Amino acid sequence: MDGIHDLGGREGFGTPEVELDEPVFHHDWERRACGLTFCAFGLGVANGGQFRHSIERMDATHYLTSRYYEHWLTGIATRLVETGKVTVAELEARAGGRFPLSRPVAAWGVASLPPVASFAVGDAVRVREVHTRGHTRCPLYVRGRRGTVVRVDDAASVPDVEAHADERVLEPIYSVRFESRELWGPDAERAEVHVDLWQRYLEPA
């Protein structure tokens, strides 16, 4: 989905605030939210794609205005409800008020397009212009752009598939190098940006 989580290249956010000697957790609730999320993974309520997508499905304003471990809490609580481990009524009764969850999945059985070719280091590739309503790990800022394969990684489960079905389809992942001017136009800073992309995200350039 083309959600607010897909932040590469978006403007208007200013300078990161860096805290010296930052603690691992800033509040005790962050400590508990982190730990209980790890534990909930052990219950089988989410694979990696399902957990990431549960956070991506948060209301966009909630996403941008909440702390990081609130994302985890909202995502894992959503998955616990979706898998029937707890109910919204139970959560809200316990919390003594509203317990905001993520929005429902837009489309089960997302039309994720199968791969069209395989590639080798040095190949020129273009990122396919696909706008899925479900989960994907293909960032918006590289879609339609041309780059060069610089590394081929082992096949791994395609997130677009595993987030929406109890199914794992394995495909190789390619590290693709993009010139910053290909991404951001002729006035871009001089840089090379590498993005790791599953096979189905790419086509020959």
User: Which positions from 44 through 73 interact with other proteins, judged by CB under 8 A?
Assistant: 52, 55, 64, 66-68, 70, 73
Q: What are the distances in angstroms from CA 12 to CA 15, 30, 68? A: 10, 27, 19
Closest CA to 24 of 77, 56, 68: 68
Query: How many of the chain's residues bind other proteins (CB under 8 A)?
Result: 77
Find the shortest distance in angstroms from Cβ 17 to other proteins. 6
Per-residue contact track with other proteins, 82 to 111, x per CB under 8 A? ---xx---xx--xxxxxx------------
Torsion-angle region of residue 204: left (phi > 0), alpha (psi -120 to 50) or beta?
beta
- Told to check if 183 binds other proteins by CB under 8 A, we report yes
5 interacts with other proteins by CB under 8 A = yes
Q: Is position 39 an interface residue for other proteins (rule: CB under 8 A)?
A: yes
Is residue 29 within the footprint of other proteins (CB under 8 A)?
yes
- Binding mask 131-170 toward other proteins (x if CB under 8 A, else -) reads ------xxx-x---------x-xx-x--------------
Up-side HSE of residue 138: CA atoms within 13 Å toward CB?
A: 28
For other proteins, the closer CB: 85 or 103: 85
What angle, 0 to 180 degrees and rounded to 10, lies between the N-to-C axes of helices 88-95 and 68-82? 140
Give 70's DSSP letter.
Answer: H
**Residue 8 found at the interface with other proteins (CB under 8 A):** yes
Take residue 53 and report the two structure tokens written for it: 């997508």
Helices (H), 85-163: 88-95, 159-162
H/E stretch holding 183:
helix 180-184
Token pair in block for residue 150: 């610089």
Tell me which of 127, 149, 163, 195 binds other proteins, using CB under 8 A. 195
Q: Which stretch binds other proteins (CB under 8 A): 38-46, 105-113, 118-126, 162-170?
A: 38-46
CB of 103 to other proteins, least distance (A): 17
